[in-house]
Structure 1
Amino acid sequence: MKPWHWFLLPLVAEFIIGCGSAENKSKEITNSKEITNSKEITNSIGMKLVRIPKGKFMMGSPEREVDREDNETWHEVILTKDFYLGIYEVTQAEYEKVMGENPSKFKGARKPVEMVSWNDATEFCKKLSDFPEEKKAGRVYRLPTEAQWEYACRAGTTTPFHFGEELNGTQANCNGNDPYGTTTKGPYLEKPINCGEYPSNAWGLHDMHGNVFEWCSDWYGEYPEFGVIDPQGPQRGDYRVRRGGSWNGISKRCRASCRFRSFPGYRYYYYGFRVLLPLDF
């Protein structure tokens, strides 16, 4: 984590804002040079990832945001490298291909895997990286940092959700009985559903709000009050970060800035994850 004084903030002249459009057909990439020129890729187990452009954003929430928490200190973050992120949460079919088992309570090949701990998620990343095709291509998967997760979730927006100011269960899979904003009550499905049933954000990512919580790589800690570059979170801690809300969570907990934490060994039927592929190899 690299702090700076506000008057010395570097100017980011330009960065790509549109990724993963429908016109970009995904393909399996087997060469590390080829991957750096692709907007969307499909790896050896059929997992699709989209390229997220580097850039800067305001992380956390402004004081005016309804239902904001004290741990959402608004601060500027610069991410200096592009990265690939799973278009969907890791599905049960993908998890079983890599781990040889499916621990989920709500079974379904296209549903997100759940009942997975942070430890399970990181082990999945390690095992996937060891697949022969992935090793040959030099791909090493991991969980996103909390900053990368929120940046990707927002996709250039500053509202509580990438689709706007309101959520009632019609825009994402959550408990719509307690809506956010001025909207009326909406559906509560009481279970996770197949990945990708709701529209993606501007960068092609589905289910960043709701469905299942997503583990991040960071230890949980308080935010700084100054700007940071490529934050990684604290060096140690007791809890790991999870983000995005879930199918059984009320709408306000699905906000882009809303933060949660759990012991890294905890498993629940609304804990899942998606994978990140860095571009620094």
Structure 2
Amino acid sequence: MKNSEYHPHRSLPRRRFLKLTALATGGAGIATILAPRRTNSLTQTDQANLDRFLTESVPIEAKSLEFSEYSFETVTIARNGEITARSRHMARSTRQPLSPGIDLEMVYIPGGSFLQGSPPEERGDHTGSEKPQRSVTNKAFLLSKYPITQAQWLAIASLPQVDIDINADPAFFTGSNHPIERVSWYEAIEFCQRLSKATGRDYRLPSESRWEYACRAGTTTPFHAGETLTAAQANYYAAFSPYADEPPGNYITRTTPVGSYPPNAFGLYDIHGNVGEWCADVWHRNYNRNPPLNGQSWLTPDERIHPRHQKARLVRGGSWGDEANHCRSANRTFCLPEKRYSVLGFRVMAEISQ
């Protein structure tokens, strides 16, 4: 069975990708836009701290948070890409100040059960990694409304080091309200550690089951808006390989400011496309080996895969460089934790007590 390692340019024909990356980079080309920088290896002490950080989390008391409500519209899309329905929703969020003028908005995700993975009839699971479907029950939690932005990254990267040093300005595409990218999984964890230490609240990367639950927002279709994806709904490689019967769309060739596209029914933005998102879990070839059913991260290595990939971490959501198929709610892939790409960012979560 094939593995699903994240190759950001895999969706595009090589000649077309090279042309588009040259346009996006002003001639810098693929080596600059995608090449990972080196990451310092973790010491034994760092690894011990990391293990504790991934397995120990204190829920935030709900009564200590101040929530506000916001209203928004979602759409339902048919296979031909046309909007067939519009709905109004309400969501609750709370703000965590990071620095003067910079907040982290966290959305309340209600608890519930869902089927994780894709059904047999859903097109796109070429490796079988989304099978078998399984019922997962999540308690309520908080998830950042948007992928972490460059402004938010800078605010936290400026705080004292916990385990590893991180670059305060790693992104290839600049813009304070654009998602941070070109950060490794280790650096995303360091961000969470610094944020937790500074606020006294435990912030983490989401597990892939929590991520998919939040992405679906109660839906069972390939995308949270319906049967396909269009360029009006997300920033992805819309000009190539339509998922269903939708017409081709404009390909932007770069990240866009967070919140530029419609949200899902939980009030989350950019959950499809823009940047792929790191999750806490280690990569497993499929769901056959007793994964957690309570929303917790799956951290035991998969001995069936090559040793090189046993430390690889889950990536979800697809990016500006991916075709629609790789942006599906159930799509899962992986990347080695030291890699950094201009298509790869993250968002954060926090457990909450009722």
Query: Normalising to structure 2: TM-score of the pair?
Result: 0.66
For 1:93, the equivalent position in structure 2 comes to 151
Instruction: Pick one of 124, 129, 136 that aligns with 1:67.
Output: 124
Question: Could you list the per-position Cα deviations for residues 150-203 of structure 1 after superposition, in whole angstroms to 9, with x for gaps in the alignment?
Answer: 000000000111011112322100001122111110110000000000011000
Displaced runs of 4+ in structure 1, greater than 4 A? none
- Report the Cα offset of residue 76 of structure 1: 2.7
Comparing 118-127 with 79-88, greater Cα deviation is found at 79-88
Q: Match for residue 258 of structure 2?
A: 195
Matches within 5 A, 1:203-242: 203-221=266-284, 222-224=286-288, 228-236=293-301, 237-242=310-315
Letter in 1 for 2:319: S
1:1-281 mapped onto 2 (5 Å cutoff): 33-35=63-65, 39-45=92-98, 46-69=103-126, 70-100=128-158, 101-131=168-198, 134-135=199-200, 139-178=201-240, 179-221=242-284, 222-224=286-288, 228-236=293-301, 237-280=310-353
Paired with 1:265 and 1:94, the residues of 2 have a C-alpha distance of 21
* Identical columns (%): 39
Q: Which residue does 2:13 correspond to in 1?
A: none
Segments of 5+ residues of structure 2 without an aligned counterpart are: 1-59, 69-91, 159-167, 302-309
Shift of 1:33: 2.6
Whole-Å Cα distance in 2 between the matches of residues 252 and 31 of structure 1? 38
CA distance change for structure 1 residues 123 and 225 in 2, over 3 Å: closer, same or farther?
closer
Aligned length: 247
Query: How far apart are the structure 2 equivalents of 1:235 and 1:225?
Result: 10
Give distance in 2, aligned partners of 1:159 and 1:124.
Answer: 33
Identify if the C-alpha distance between structure 1 residues 65 and 31 changes in structure 2 by more than 3 Å, giving closer, same or farther. closer
Contact conserved, 1:77 with 1:229, CA < 8 A, in 2?
Answer: no
Partner SS for 1:129: helix
How far is 1:231 from its partner? 4.2
Report the more deviating stretch, 63-72 or 255-264: 63-72
**Structure whose CA Rg is larger:** 2
Partner of 1:279: helix, strand, or coil? strand
The 3-state SS of whatever aligns with 2:97 is: coil
Code of the aligned partner of 1:40: S
Instruction: Please state how far the C-alpha of 1:226 moved relative to its aligned partner.
Output: 7.4
Deviation, 1:280, is 4.9
Gap change, CA 1:142 and 1:162, over 3 Å in 2 = same
Shift of residue 60 of structure 1?
0.6
Change over 3 Å in CA distance of 1:185–1:229 after alignment to 2? same
- 1:267 to 1:226, Cα distance in 2 relative to 1, 3 A: closer
Q: Is the 8 Å Cα contact of residues 170 and 176 (structure 1) preserved in structure 2? A: no
Whichever residue aligns with residue 76 of structure 1, its letter is R
SS state of the match for residue 88, structure 1? coil
Letter in 1 for 2:140: D
Question: Counterpart of 1:42 in structure 2: which amino acid?
Answer: R
1:214-239 Cα deviation digits (max 9, x unpaired)? 00000011213878333421423321
> AA paired with 1:43?
Q
Cα distance in 2 for residues equivalent to 1:193 and 1:229: 34
The structure-2 alpha-carbon separation of the partners of 1:32 and 1:51, relative to structure 1 and needing over 3 Å to count, comes to closer
Q: Distance in 1 between matches of 2:349 and 2:149?
A: 15
Correspondence for 2:40: none
- CA 1:79/1:99 → structure 2, altered by over 3 Å: closer, same or farther? same
Cα distance in 1, alignment partners of residues 116 and 214 from structure 2: 11
Are the counterparts in 1 of residues 136 and 209 from structure 2 also a CA contact under 8 Å? no
Report how far residue 79 of structure 1 moved. 2.6
Name the Cα RMSD after superposition: 2.0
Q: Give the Cα separation in 2 of the matches to 1:217 and 1:44.
A: 24
CA contact (8 A) 2:317 2:331 kept: yes
Once residues 313 and 338 of structure 2 are traced to their aligned partners in structure 1, the CA distance between those partners, rounded to angstroms, is: 9
